Structure 1
Amino acid sequence: MKTPLSTEQIVRTFVEYYEERGHRRITGSTLLPPPGDPVLFTTSGMHPLIPYLEGRPHPLGRRLVNVQRCLRTTDLEEVGDPTHLTVFEMLGTWSLGDYEGPQSLGWGYELLTDGFGVDPGLLHATVFGGDGRTGPDTASLELWQDRGVPVELTVEDNWWPSGSAGPCGPDSEIFLWTGEGPPESTPTRDDRWVEVWNHVMMRHRRLDDGSLVPLVQRNVDTGLGLERLASLLQGRGSVFESDVFTPWRRLVPGLWPLDEPSLRLVCDHLRSAVVVIGDGVGPAVSGRGYVLRRLVRRVLTVLWRDDASRTLGDLPDELVRHTLDRFRQDADPSAVHRVLVEEEHRFGRLLERGRQVLARPRFRGPLDEEDFRYLHDTHGLPRELVVSLRTRD
């Protein structure tokens, strides 16, 4: 690869490449979907664009590019591995009834190899192999064969999204080899192949009964996680070693000595909490506020496991400001800090009450589902907190 690019250089290279090919940059939305949307948070760059993928004309035209902040709670338990984050930025491009999949894949290959300096010999692609309702994606297969990139055909792994109703279609995913030595095996058989970029040929709508109908236009929707791409291009072993996390890795270990998995969780969850608060969400007992509350309490559970005197009041202002700037948010850092500390105090009081309740004779033996329900509904003690207190005590 060429000299490693910074995250900002990656964004600039990506956006300019597509602007040169007729794409207009759109402003990424906040983490909050539009009113009436049942999803708690924006989970991908295409989420705010669904009306335009379904045929509404976009004011900036048929070719779009953007950088979108996203939050995925489905990956919460995977945070700490080399590739998953709770809040991240998604680089995305769209063809709204304009060019087709092979053109998108060809541009993607060119940008990765010529623009970012990736060795073509380290790439592998997967392509939809067809099922009982939809035939194989032969156009994408031929594109990769023409480029000399090895291809693996799959069914379930190359249809996006896999099950929910709404716009969908076959996809082709691009993987980069991260192992020692020459590439081997295939992406579905070896996790040293890391997914870099997904190109979805979004041509269908899945109805509630699972059937497919054609969309009014044939779209292409692509997305790649910025932090994951940065870590790969910078030759790092995980997203937590990319330059995005440089200030976190410089300051947090000196403040709170932690093992590597705990350090990753604390950095991810605190960074995510800052972004969620920066988009105007406060802690609550349900909905978006509960996601924020859960992030903060998972951090505190880790910090207090070894030292109950640790406090979020010690979180350096530099990290709050760095995160808000990174995600282009104009929230007041001191106000964000205040929300974190207030939630810490609230959690501390809940822990104390929980210990008192669990000390009662009724809860000294094994707990059943009725006990967990009672503790939650009567005393506001979530199951995971009860389990944590019982394990600790």
Structure 2
Amino acid sequence: MFRAGTRTAKEVAYVTAGRIIQRYQEFCLSKGIDFTRIESVQPHDKTTLFCSAGMQQYKTLFSNPSYSGTVANSQACLRMGDLDEIGDGTHFLHFTMLGLFSFRQMAVGEAIDFWLEFLERIGLHPDHVTIHPDRLDEWGPLYRGRVPIVPDPECIWSDGDIRGYCTEFYKDGIEIGNIVNPLGTCIDVGFGLERLDMIVNGTLPDDALATLRKTAMRIIESGYRPGNKEQGYVLRKLLRRIAVMGGALDHPFFEREVERQNGLRARYWQLRERHPDKSPQWWFDTHGIDVAEMTGHAGEQG
């Protein structure tokens, strides 16, 4: 237990993770690479509701054969596809990605050297890396025997438009990051800050409720409000799930959502005998009621 005057566990986790970002920024600048911190999860284009990867804002540069340069960043990301995986210690829903992006300037071998050097600086040495069999003969020697190599035919990355082979880094059975070679001419690197923090500083992963709370607050801090569409709907969904799981969030948006849900629940139990054959979609479209959540509280109705 923390004594009065000392940092809380949440504050300690924030400081240790922030220290890794700071060291990464200093490392990039020492290499002459511009660095940017981005804490908002607002997307950089209209292909996603939230920023899902650090490379999102650079898509046009990857595809522009006349552009050459290298940049780095730390980017707040949110992937709702991980919602059902949270609490397993490796999926965070909201997370920060440490990125390195080179457009027809840095070679794969240089990117490997860059990341092995940085990881050593923070006291982390990968247990092994994976390489696609098609690139094993070419990329394997680039590691120069410093890390065991495992062939993996899954080492291909694509966002639907841009595609490339990749090599992935593992520690304690967890993938901590990868180096992608988009179009065969560029470099797209992403390492998960939270996973690095767990390994380097021994930070314990959040449970599901803490993850939901942090994600909801990140969405709010990025400028969104609960609503019926797009980002607002996602936020409302997270607030509902926090309430259903018996959690709480110290924010007016959560308090209003709980009141709204209580009103919907009362309406559902009042109307359901009149509409016993209506589909869940009808309930949602007509009254904004999620039947699965209402029936989850059936025991409360006696």
**TM > 0.5 fold call:** yes
Query: Are the equivalent residues in 2 in contact too, given 1:265–1:299 (CA < 8 A)?
Result: no
Paired position in structure 2 for 1:326: none
Letter in 1 for 2:151: L
Letter in 2 for 1:30: S
Letter in 1 for 2:123: G
Secondary structure of residue in 2 paired with 1:80: coil
Cα deviation 1:294-343 (Å, max 9, x = unaligned)? 11000000117xxxxxx54xx3xxxxxxxxxxxxxxxxxxxxx2222222
Shift of 1:68: 0.7
Pairwise mapping of residues 203-282 of structure 1 onto structure 2 (< 5 A)? 203=183, 218-236=185-203, 238-240=204-206, 264-282=207-225
Change (3 A) 1:356 1:137: farther
Letter in 2 for 1:43: S
Looking at structure 1, the residues matched to 16 and 25 of structure 2 have their Cα atoms a distance apart, in angstroms, of 14
Q: Which stretches in structure 1 are left out of the alignment for 5+ residues?
A: 131-135, 178-192, 205-217, 241-263, 305-310, 316-336
Query: Are the equivalent residues in 2 in contact too, given 1:65–1:92 (CA < 8 A)?
Result: yes
Query: Are the equivalent residues in 2 in contact too, given 1:128–1:153 (CA < 8 A)?
Result: yes
Secondary structure of residue in 1 paired with 2:113: helix
Shift of 1:79: 0.7
Identity of aligned residues (%): 24
Paired position in structure 1 for 2:245: 302
Looking at structure 2, the residues matched to 303 and 98 of structure 1 have their Cα atoms a distance apart, in angstroms, of 51
Paired position in structure 2 for 1:67: 74
Paired position in structure 1 for 2:6: none
Change (3 A) 1:235 1:34: closer
Looking at structure 2, the residues matched to 46 and 390 of structure 1 have their Cα atoms a distance apart, in angstroms, of 45
Paired position in structure 1 for 2:5: none
Shift of 1:362: 5.3
User: TM-score scaled to structure 2, two decimals?
Assistant: 0.86
**In the alignment, structure 1 residue 55 sits paired with structure 2 residue 64:** yes
Secondary structure of residue in 2 paired with 1:239: coil
1:355 pairs with one of 257, 262, 269: 269
Change (3 A) 1:385 1:24: same
Cα deviation 1:230-284 (Å, max 9, x = unaligned)? 0111124x432xxxxxxxxxxxxxxxxxxxxxxx222111111111111111111
Looking at structure 1, the residues matched to 199 and 140 of structure 2 have their Cα atoms a distance apart, in angstroms, of 25
Query: Are the equivalent residues in 2 in contact too, given 1:105–1:140 (CA < 8 A)?
Result: no
Paired position in structure 1 for 2:17: 7
Change (3 A) 1:281 1:174: same
4+ residue runs over 3 A deviation: 389-393
Looking at structure 2, the residues matched to 391 and 371 of structure 1 have their Cα atoms a distance apart, in angstroms, of 21
My pick for the range that moved more, 70-79 or 104-113, is 104-113
Query: Are the equivalent residues in 2 in contact too, given 1:160–1:168 (CA < 8 A)?
Result: yes
Shift of 1:159: 0.9
User: TM-score scaled to structure 1, two decimals?
Assistant: 0.68
Looking at structure 1, the residues matched to 221 and 151 of structure 2 have their Cα atoms a distance apart, in angstroms, of 42
Change (3 A) 1:116 1:346: same
Change (3 A) 1:361 1:299: same
Paired position in structure 2 for 1:385: 293
Query: Are the equivalent residues in 2 in contact too, given 1:101–1:139 (CA < 8 A)?
Result: no
Secondary structure of residue in 2 paired with 1:6: helix
Secondary structure of residue in 1 paired with 2:239: helix
**In the alignment, structure 1 residue 171 sits paired with structure 2 residue 166:** yes
